[in-house]
Amino acid sequence: MSALHRLRDTGPPETRALLRAGADVVPPVGLAETVRRGVEQRTAPRRRARARLWLGLGLLTGTAFAFGAREVVRRGERSGPTSHAARLARGAPVAPTVIPLASVPAPEAEPVPRATPPPAGEAPAPGASASSRHRAAHSAAGPRDPRPTSGVPAAPAPGVLASDAVDRIFAAPDDARPKAHDKAGGVRPGLAPRGGADEALVSPAERLLRIGVRWEGRKEVSLAVTGSRVHGQVRGAVVDLEVKPALLEGHIGGERVLLWLRREEASGTIGGRDVAFVLTPTQRGHILRGNVPGHGVRLELASRMLSFLPGCERDLLPLPEVPGRPGTTYQGLCPNGRRLRVHLPPGWYALPELPRLIVLGMLLTEKEDILRHEAPRLLPPPEDEGEEK
């Protein structure tokens, strides 16, 4: 042990006196007792139990927040720009498939005067209809077209079932059986009897040319796409929408739909209620955000996934393309435990991006289960098979 002299022994006399005289500090009377009581109170078992409870609650809250934050970050990553490395890790972007415009019959419409002439490279042929010009303008955004590539069929993604297995899962329920409350005369305007001729007479081949939405345990919903029209029935509600230049109009279940389209935005009314949509391009596709009467809408369609809120937050993955089966089919298991399959025909892809995603958003999204029977709502609530009415 190294020894070092101390000032109190060897220092100057004044220092020695100061250190010797002032070294002792006598605690004030009662201080020791006061401090001891405080210590005993703070270290009492009851206090420790309370501290543990607070600690546990804090940990719980922190964990919940961390998981919530992670989910928010995950969504942000999905919608925001991604790095080149991240894109490579997820798979290179897929070249789009452009449907020849000539193959899509489009009704003639009155030309709409344009304030500014289109760019030279994008100018449609003279004499082309307004709707085809509109379609051509949207087709210019081809690289963002989320449709999977054609040609070599892609290998099924992990968790994707083979087509026949999916078909077994979605074995058609005995349809065309009218429900008790759908009797003629008991249907409100805009609602058609369920299982009408429009649905019953559709052949499987024709079905592939329609937008199809099949939830496990529910009847399939399918809408025909004819040129710029989307029409059919959704749970008894007649849907008839037409995409016009700068306009999406028609009816859903007797409610008038009128949406003005301007670049990446749409606004207007559905059944007299104000609605609006915004389309945001992402690296791999598009995100549509907006609202319909009764709920908000968020739909993301990318080259290899489809998801929408509320309804199915989880990604639906595309089935491998099969020669002779036109269109793309997305399928997956949703958080509510139901499998879902969505078929998008070539005619749907031929529509401009904004209105076609709005149609899909209106068709797919559903109010939360707890609110499903509350007004207002865009479409009749889904009825699960075996559900008591």
Partner 1 sequence: MLMNVAARKEPEGPIGGDGAPTPAAEAALVAACQAGDAAAWRQLYDRCFPLVHRVVVRLGTPWREVPDVCQDIFVRVHRGLRGFRAEARLSTWLYRITVNEVNRAGRTGALWRAVGAVLGREVRSAAPEELRPDLVLERSQASTELQQILAAMRPKQREAFVLHEIEELSLEQIAEVVESPVETVKSRLKHARSDFERLRRQRQMQAAAQAALVAPEKAPSGGAR
CA atoms within 13 A on the CB side of 47: 7
Write down the least CB distance from residue 40 to partner 1, Å: 9
Cα–Cα distances in Å, from 63 out to 54, 58, 66? Answer: 14, 8, 5
Residue 76 burial class via C-beta count within 10 angstroms: exposed 0-12, middle 13-18, buried 19 and up: exposed
Of 349, 388, 339, give the one whose Cα is nearest residue 167: 339
With respect to partner 1, which residue has the nearer C-beta, 38 or 254?
38
List CB contacts of 105: < 8 A, sequence separation 6 or more: 226, 227
How many residues belong to the site for partner 1 (CB under 8 A)? 30
With respect to partner 1, which residue has the nearer C-beta, 22 or 121?
22
Cα–Cα distances in Å, from 42 out to 28, 332, 358? Answer: 22, 56, 62
Instruction: Provide the token pair at 215.
Output: 């939830």
With respect to partner 1, which residue has the nearer C-beta, 29 or 155?
29
Contact string 175-214 vs partner 1 (x = CB under 8 A): ----------------------------------------
Write down the least CB distance from residue 30 to partner 1, Å: 10
What residue has token string 């051509």?
136
* DSSP code, position 374: S
Write down the least CB distance from residue 272 to partner 1, Å: 55
Residues facing residue 343 across a β-bridge: 212, 329
Write down the least CB distance from residue 298 to partner 1, Å: 44
Restricted to residues 57-116, the positions that interact with partner 1 (CB under 8 A) are: none
Stretch that binds partner 1, among 7-15, 82-90, 210-218, 279-287 (CB under 8 A): 7-15
Write down the least CB distance from residue 12 to partner 1, Å: 7
With respect to partner 1, which residue has the nearer C-beta, 11 or 193?
11
Restricted to residues 123-182, the positions that interact with partner 1 (CB under 8 A) are: none
Helix (H, G, I), strand (E, B) or coil at 143: helix
Write down the least CB distance from residue 46 to partner 1, Å: 15
With respect to partner 1, which residue has the nearer C-beta, 15 or 63?
15
Instruction: Provide the token pair at 225.
Output: 């796409």
Of 247, 273, 297, give the one whose Cα is nearest residue 110: 247
- 241 neighbors 247 (Cβ within 8 angstroms): no
Contact string 16-55 vs partner 1 (x = CB under 8 A): -xxx-xxxxx-xx--xx-xxx-xx--xx------------
With respect to partner 1, which residue has the nearer C-beta, 17 or 69?
17
With respect to partner 1, which residue has the nearer C-beta, 31 or 140?
31
Write down the least CB distance from residue 51 to partner 1, Å: 11
Stretch that binds partner 1, among 9-17, 222-230, 321-329, 335-343 (CB under 8 A): 9-17
Residues facing residue 242 across a β-bridge: 229, 249
Preceding omega of 318 cis (within 30 degrees of 0): no
Preceding omega of 376 cis (within 30 degrees of 0): yes
Of 314, 326, 132, give the one whose Cα is nearest residue 212: 326
Residue 222 burial class via C-beta count within 10 angstroms: exposed 0-12, middle 13-18, buried 19 and up: buried
Stretch that binds partner 1, among 6-14, 154-162, 192-200, 349-357 (CB under 8 A): 6-14
> Which one of 8, 52, 74, 373 is in contact with partner 1 (CB under 8 A)?
8
Write down the least CB distance from residue 53 to partner 1, Å: 17
What does the binding site for partner 1 look like in residue numbers (CB under 8 A)?
1-4, 6-8, 11-12, 14-15, 17-19, 21-25, 27-28, 31-32, 34-36, 38-39, 42-43
